[in-house]
Structure 1
Amino acid sequence: MTEKYNPQVIEQKWQQRWEADGLNRAKIDPSREKYYAMTMYPYPSGDLHMGHWYAMAPSDVRARWMRMKGYNVLFPMGFDSFGLPAENAAIKRGIHPKEWTYANIKRMRGQLRSMGAMFDWEREAITSDPSYYKWSQWFFLKLYDMGLAYKTMAPVDFCPTCNTTLAREQVWGEDRHCERCGTPVIKKDLNQWFFKITKYADELLDFSRLNWPERVRAMQKNWIGRSEGAEVVFKTEKGGHDIPIFTTRPDTLWGATFMVLAPEHPLVAELTTPEQKAAVETYVAQATRQTEIDRLATDKEKTGVFIGAYAINPVNNERIPIWIADYVLMTYGTGAIMAVPSGDERDFEFAQKYGLPIPVVVAPKDWDGQPFTEAYTEPGTLVNSGPFNGYATIGKYSLEDWTPELAAQYGLPADLTPETEGRRAVTRWLEQQGIGKFAVTYRLRDWLISRQRYWGCPIPMISCPSCGIVPVPYAELPVELPEDVQFMPTGESPLKFHEGFRHVKCPQCGSENAERETDTMDTFMCSSWYQYAYMDPHWKDGQPLSPDDIPFNPTEGDYWLPVDQYTGGIEHATMHLLYTRFFTKAMHDMGVVPFDEPMNALFNQGIILGEDREKMSKSRGNVVAPDDLVQAYGADTVRGYLMFGFRWDQGGPWDSKGILGVQRFLERVWELVTGDAGKRGDEEATEAQLRELRRKQHQAIRRVTQDIESFSFNTMVAGLMEYTNALAAIRGAAPGIVTHSAWGDAIRTLVLLLAPGFPHIAEEMWAKLGQPYSVHQQSWPTWDEELAKEDVVEIAVQVNGKVRDKIEVPVEIGEAEAKTQALATEGVQRHLEGKTPAKVIYVPGRLVNIVVK
Structure 2
Amino acid sequence: MAERGQATRFNAPEIERKWQARWEADGLYRAVEGGDRPKWYALVMFPYPSAAHTHVGHWYNYCPADAHARFMRMRGYNVLMPFGFDAFGLPAENFAIKAGTHPFVSTMRNIETMRHQVRSMGASFDWSREVISCHPNYYRWTQWLFLQLYKNGLAYKARAAANWCPGCNTVLANEQVIDGACERCGSVVMRRDLEQWFFRITRYAEELLDFSKIEWPEKIALMQRNWIGRSEGAELVFSAEDGSPIPVFTTRPDTVYGATFMVLAPEHPLVERLTAADRRADVAAYVERARRTSEIERTATDREKTGVPIGASAVNPYTGEPIPILIADYVLATYGSGAVMGVPAHDERDFEFATKTGLPIKVVIAPDAWFGSPFSEAYTESGTMVNSGPFDGTPSQDGKEKVVAYGAERGFARATVNYRLRDWLVSRQRYWGAPIPIVYCPTHGEQPVPEKDLPVLLPEDAEFLPSGESPLTRDVGFVNAICPVCGGPARRETDTMDTFVDSSWYFLRYASPQDDEQAFDAVETHYWLPVDQYMGGAEHAVLHLMYARFFTKALRDIGKLDFGEPFTRLFNQGMIISGGAKMSKSKGNVVEPDDYVTTVGADVLRTYLMFLGPWDQGGDWSDEGIAGPLRFVNRVWTLVSESGVRLDVASNGATGPIELRRQVHQTLRGVTDDLDRFRFNTAIAKLMTLTSNLAAEAEPARGTAAWSEAIRLLVLMLAPLTPHLAEELWERIGGGYSVHTQDWPRANEALTAVSTVTIVVQVDGKVRDRLTATAGISREDALVAALASDKVTRSLEGRPVTKDIFVPDRMLSLVTARS
* TM-score, normalization by structure 2: 0.92
Q: Distance in 1 between matches of 2:472 and 2:811?
A: 77
| 1:127 pairs with 2:133 | yes
SS at match of 1:739: coil
Q: Distance in 2 between matches of 1:168 and 1:795?
A: 65
1:664-710: CA deviations, max 9, x gaps? 0011111111111347776697x8x6111111111111100111111
Deviates more, 1:659-668 or 1:348-357: 348-357
SS at match of 1:537: coil
In the alignment, what sits opposite 1:546? none
Deviates more, 1:357-366 or 1:149-158: 357-366
Note closer, same or farther for the CA distance 1:515–1:848 as it changes in structure 2 (3 Å cut). Answer: farther
In the alignment, what sits opposite 1:79? 85
SS at match of 2:159: strand
| 1:102 pairs with 2:108 | yes
Q: Distance in 2 between matches of 1:711 and 1:834?
A: 47
Q: Distance in 1 between matches of 2:324 and 2:467?
A: 46
In the alignment, what sits opposite 2:238? 234
1:36-83: CA deviations, max 9, x gaps? 110101111321122211111111111000000000000000111112
Q: Distance in 1 between matches of 2:105 and 2:473?
A: 21
| Counterparts of residues 286-685 of structure 1 (less than 5 Å) | 286-394=289-397, 421-512=398-489, 514-540=490-516, 543=517, 551-610=519-578, 612-678=579-645
For 1:715, the aligned partner's letter is T
Note closer, same or farther for the CA distance 1:669–1:267 as it changes in structure 2 (3 Å cut). Answer: same
Match of 2:254 among 251, 254, 258: 251
Q: Distance in 1 between matches of 2:682 and 2:759?
A: 24
For 1:693, the aligned partner's letter is L
Q: In the alignment, is the contact (CA less than 8 A) between 1:684 and 1:736 conserved in 2? A: no
SS at match of 1:622: coil
1:751-777: CA deviations, max 9, x gaps? 000000110000000000011000000
Q: Distance in 2 between matches of 1:618 and 1:845?
A: 59
Task: After TM superposition, give the deviation of residue 618 of structure 1 in Å.
Answer: 1.0
Q: Distance in 1 between matches of 2:563 and 2:652?
A: 59
| 1:11 pairs with 2:16 | yes
SS at match of 1:633: coil
Task: After TM superposition, give the deviation of residue 847 of structure 1 in Å.
Answer: 12
In the alignment, what sits opposite 1:841? none
| Counterparts of residues 118-267 of structure 1 (less than 5 Å) | 118-173=124-179, 176-236=180-240, 238-267=241-270
Note closer, same or farther for the CA distance 1:794–1:127 as it changes in structure 2 (3 Å cut). Answer: farther
In the alignment, what sits opposite 1:750? 714
Q: Distance in 1 between matches of 2:799 and 2:478?
A: 99
In the alignment, what sits opposite 1:840? none
Note closer, same or farther for the CA distance 1:462–1:729 as it changes in structure 2 (3 Å cut). Answer: same
Q: Distance in 2 between matches of 1:504 and 1:436?
A: 49
SS at match of 2:657: helix
For 2:565, the aligned partner's letter is E
Q: Distance in 2 between matches of 1:713 and 1:57?
A: 10
1:317-369: CA deviations, max 9, x gaps? 12211122221111111111111111100111122222222222112223233
Q: In the alignment, is the contact (CA less than 8 A) between 1:47 and 1:104 conserved in 2? A: yes
For 1:507, the aligned partner's letter is P
For 1:303, the aligned partner's letter is T
Task: After TM superposition, give the deviation of residue 188 of structure 1 in Å.
Answer: 2.1
1:75-124: CA deviations, max 9, x gaps? 00011111224433444444222111111111111111101110001111
Identity percentage of aligned residues: 56
Note closer, same or farther for the CA distance 1:845–1:553 as it changes in structure 2 (3 Å cut). Answer: farther
Match of 1:278 among 281, 286, 298: 281
Deviates more, 1:502-511 or 1:376-385: 376-385
Note closer, same or farther for the CA distance 1:518–1:790 as it changes in structure 2 (3 Å cut). Answer: same
Q: Distance in 2 between matches of 1:316 and 1:32?
A: 70
Q: In the alignment, is the contact (CA less than 8 A) between 2:282 and 2:308 conserved in 1? A: yes
Q: In the alignment, is the contact (CA less than 8 A) between 1:695 and 1:790 conserved in 2? A: no
Note closer, same or farther for the CA distance 1:808–1:692 as it changes in structure 2 (3 Å cut). Answer: farther
Q: Distance in 1 between matches of 2:796 and 2:556?
A: 74
> What are the ranges of 5 or more consecutive residues in structure 1 without an aligned counterpart?
395-420, 544-549, 838-843
Q: Distance in 2 between matches of 1:626 and 1:799?
A: 61
Note closer, same or farther for the CA distance 1:366–1:753 as it changes in structure 2 (3 Å cut). Answer: farther
SS at match of 1:342: helix
Q: Distance in 1 between matches of 2:165 and 2:770?
A: 67
Note closer, same or farther for the CA distance 1:147–1:763 as it changes in structure 2 (3 Å cut). Answer: same
Match of 1:21 among 21, 26, 34: 26
Task: After TM superposition, give the deviation of residue 281 of structure 1 in Å.
Answer: 2.6
1:628-667: CA deviations, max 9, x gaps? 2212211111111111112100102112211110010011
Note closer, same or farther for the CA distance 1:459–1:324 as it changes in structure 2 (3 Å cut). Answer: same
Match of 2:121 among 103, 115, 118: 115
Q: In the alignment, is the contact (CA less than 8 A) between 1:153 and 1:192 conserved in 2? A: yes
| Counterparts of residues 736-747 of structure 1 (less than 5 Å) | 736-747=700-711
For 1:625, the aligned partner's letter is E
For 2:12, the aligned partner's letter is P
For 2:732, the aligned partner's letter is K
Q: In the alignment, is the contact (CA less than 8 A) between 1:91 and 1:489 conserved in 2? A: no
Deviates more, 1:791-800 or 1:750-759: 791-800
Q: Distance in 1 between matches of 2:152 and 2:812?
A: 72
Q: Distance in 2 between matches of 1:834 and 1:136?
A: 77
Note closer, same or farther for the CA distance 1:253–1:184 as it changes in structure 2 (3 Å cut). Answer: same
Q: In the alignment, is the contact (CA less than 8 A) between 1:524 and 1:579 conserved in 2? A: yes
For 2:456, the aligned partner's letter is V
